[in-house]
């Protein structure tokens, strides 16, 4: 009874004073179990990790079945970072008398029930997989500095091992976004954020009480803002500023509604054939010529499709069998697709057509892509970058690879590009 009363006091009095305003609605979301996965990205001083540590400590004290595992890529970094962060959370909540700390093994134990918060490094995967608790299950997982992990597949494998034995599991991912949109964590956040059970939250230091940060922190931030605005936006505001190598800086990722699509009076259709391990890429594009922008809202992107399977899938997206322009490098495949009833022809191409096509797309005012309908198109366009040489200088030309949806877009819009001022491309004999 005393413990319950103490918990009410902690939640009503102390919690509000220890969570920055930018996280208060997020706290309500977690308390009401509206989502299972929370991606918290932000700049320096945003207090995202502090918020998560408070939520996990309180969550365990509220639920007698709950335990937690907190992970970083390298085990050696745990002691002086996330472990100390959780000790801070226990202290500021005023519940240190109810917790026992241990460094070997690195755990925090809730004395009344024996529930635990365990700290693990992903460089020791065997120790992560063998997580059994005396009582309850892993309700909370926290990936600190998520961008330090190798890739999403590594984290997904860990989740598959830990997501057992209970319901209402909550996973937190906290990180400062890398500058490049091509980073795996930025790409994964964009795709995972489309799930109904996932919420992506952004934060920065501007909403944090000044006394929490200190004068030196604020002075450093303001100085960097003057000296290097781009670095300031990346480091302190948590923005994906880019590396300067991005080819398409005119991309807008957003939902394209059925209402919008119903007004698209002419749709262009393109196809890039798959070779060996490369995917077949088909898609539809609408051109708003007056505003110099295109809309991409349909895609097929798959490896290992037979020609018959590909034609059947394309006909579902193109039921009126409108003309399709495909890669002309495979005339036999085009002929077979035509035999299966597809209204298809090869692109004219010609010398310099690839470079012209890329430049034409770069010069558009806007490339609108629906990331839900076209996840691979969104990924390829967003992450396509120029290559650098050993001295860090950009190489000439556009790199080949991970550009299947870009190529199919060039093919389908080829007739429009030729009207747009490029030199005529000679048709191969």
260/121 same-domain check: no
42/190 same-domain check: yes
267/197 same-domain check: no
pLDDT in tens, 3-59: 555 555 555 545 667 899 999 999 999 999 999 999 999 999 999 999 999 999 999
The answer to whether residue 23 sits within a structural domain is yes
The answer to whether residue 233 sits within a structural domain is no
Per-residue confidence (pLDDT) for residue 392, from 0 to 100: 78
The answer to whether residue 122 sits within a structural domain is yes
Overall average pLDDT of the 166-190 stretch: 89
Chain length of the chain:
429
Q: CATH number of the domain that 346 lies in?
A: 3.30.420.280
Beta 137-144 vs 115-121: how paired, if at all? unpaired
Residue 332: other Cβ atoms inside 10 A: 8
Residue 248: which residues within 8 A CB-CB, separation 6 or more?
A: 361, 362, 367, 381, 382, 384
pLDDT in tens, 208-254: 999 999 999 999 999 999 999 989 999 999 998 887 888 998 988 88
Number of structural domains (the chain) is 2
pLDDT in tens, 56-81: 999 999 999 999 999 999 989 999 99
220/259 same-domain check: no
Structural domain containing residue 122: 2-228
Average of per-residue pLDDT values in the chain: 89
pLDDT in tens, 353-382: 899 999 999 999 999 999 889 999 999 998
* Token representation of residue 5: 């009363």
Say whether the peptide bond before residue 140 is cis (omega within 30 degrees of 0). Answer: no
61/164 same-domain check: yes
198/320 same-domain check: no
The catalytic residue positions are 145
The answer to whether residue 246 sits within a structural domain is no
Per-residue confidence (pLDDT) for residue 163, from 0 to 100: 82
78/120 same-domain check: yes
143/22 same-domain check: yes
**C-beta of residue 45 within 8 angstroms of C-beta of residue 205:** yes
The answer to whether residue 426 sits within a structural domain is no
58/204 same-domain check: yes
288/151 same-domain check: no
* Token representation of residue 2: 């005393």
Per-residue confidence (pLDDT) for residue 374, from 0 to 100: 94
**Closest alpha carbon to 176 in 39, 53, 57, 68:** 39
pTM of the predicted protein model: 0.71
284/340 same-domain check: yes
pLDDT in tens, 315-359: 999 999 999 999 999 899 999 999 999 999 999 988 888 999 999
Q: CATH number of the domain that 142 lies in?
A: 3.40.50.300
11/143 same-domain check: yes
Question: ∠ CA 53-56-57 to the nearest 5 degrees?
Answer: 85
Per-residue confidence (pLDDT) for residue 89, from 0 to 100: 95
Helix (H, G, I), strand (E, B), or coil: what is residue 418?
helix
Per-residue confidence (pLDDT) for residue 420, from 0 to 100: 45
- Start-to-end CA distance of the chain, whole Å, equals 88
**C-beta of residue 204 within 8 angstroms of C-beta of residue 237:** yes
**C-beta of residue 140 within 8 angstroms of C-beta of residue 170:** yes
């Amino acid at each position: 009874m005393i413990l319950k009363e103490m918990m009410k006091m902690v939640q009503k009095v102390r919690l509000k004073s220890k969570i920055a305003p930018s996280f208060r609605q997020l706290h309500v979301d977690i308390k009401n179990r509206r989502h299972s996965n929370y991606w918290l990205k932000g700049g320096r001083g945003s207090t995202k990790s502090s918020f998560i540590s408070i939520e996990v400590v309180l969550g365990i004290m509220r639920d007698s079945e709950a335990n937690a595992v907190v992970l970083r890529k390298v085990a050696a970094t745990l002691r002086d970072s996330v472990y100390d962060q959780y000790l801070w959370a226990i202290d500021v909540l005023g519940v240190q008398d109810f917790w026992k700390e241990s460094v070997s093994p690195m755990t925090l134990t809730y004395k009344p029930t024996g529930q635990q918060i365990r700290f693990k490094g992903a460089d020791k995967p065997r120790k992560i997989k063998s997580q059994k608790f005396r009582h309850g299950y892993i309700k909370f997982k926290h990936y600190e500095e998520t961008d330090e992990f190798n890739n999403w597949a590594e984290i997904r494998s860990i989740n598959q091992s830990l997501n057992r034995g209970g319901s209402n599991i909550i996973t937190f991912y906290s990180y400062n976004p890398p500058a490049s949109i091509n980073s795996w964590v930025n790409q994964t956040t964009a795709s995972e954020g489309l799930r109904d059970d996932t919420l992506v939250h952004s934060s920065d230091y501007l909403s944090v009480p000044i006394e929490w940060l200190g004068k030196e922190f604020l002075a450093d931030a303001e100085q960097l803002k003057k000296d290097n605005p781009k670095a300031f936006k990346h480091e302190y505001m948590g923005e994906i500023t880019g590396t300067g190598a991005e080819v398409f800086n005119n991309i807008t990722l957003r939902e394209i509604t059925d209402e919008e699509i119903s007004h698209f009076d002419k749709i262009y259709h393109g196809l890039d054939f798959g070779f060996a391990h490369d995917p077949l890429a088909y898609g539809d594009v609408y051109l708003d010529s007056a505003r110099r922008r295109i809309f991409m809202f349909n895609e097929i992107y798959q490896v290992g499709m037979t020609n018959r399977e590909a034609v059947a899938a394309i006909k579902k997206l193109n039921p009126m069998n409108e003309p399709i322009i495909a890669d002309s490098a495979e005339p036999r495949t085009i002929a077979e697709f035509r035999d299966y009833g597809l209204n298809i022809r090869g692109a004219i191409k010609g010398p310099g057509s690839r470079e012209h096509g890329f430049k034409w797309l770069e010069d558009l005012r806007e490339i609108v892509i629906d990331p839900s309908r076209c996840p691979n198109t969104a990924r390829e366009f967003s992450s396509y970058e120029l290559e650098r040489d050993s001295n860090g200088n950009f190489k000439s030309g556009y790199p080949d690879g991970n550009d299947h949806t870009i190529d199919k877009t060039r093919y389908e819009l080829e007739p429009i590009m030729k009207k747009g001022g490029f030199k005529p491309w000679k048709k191969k004999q």
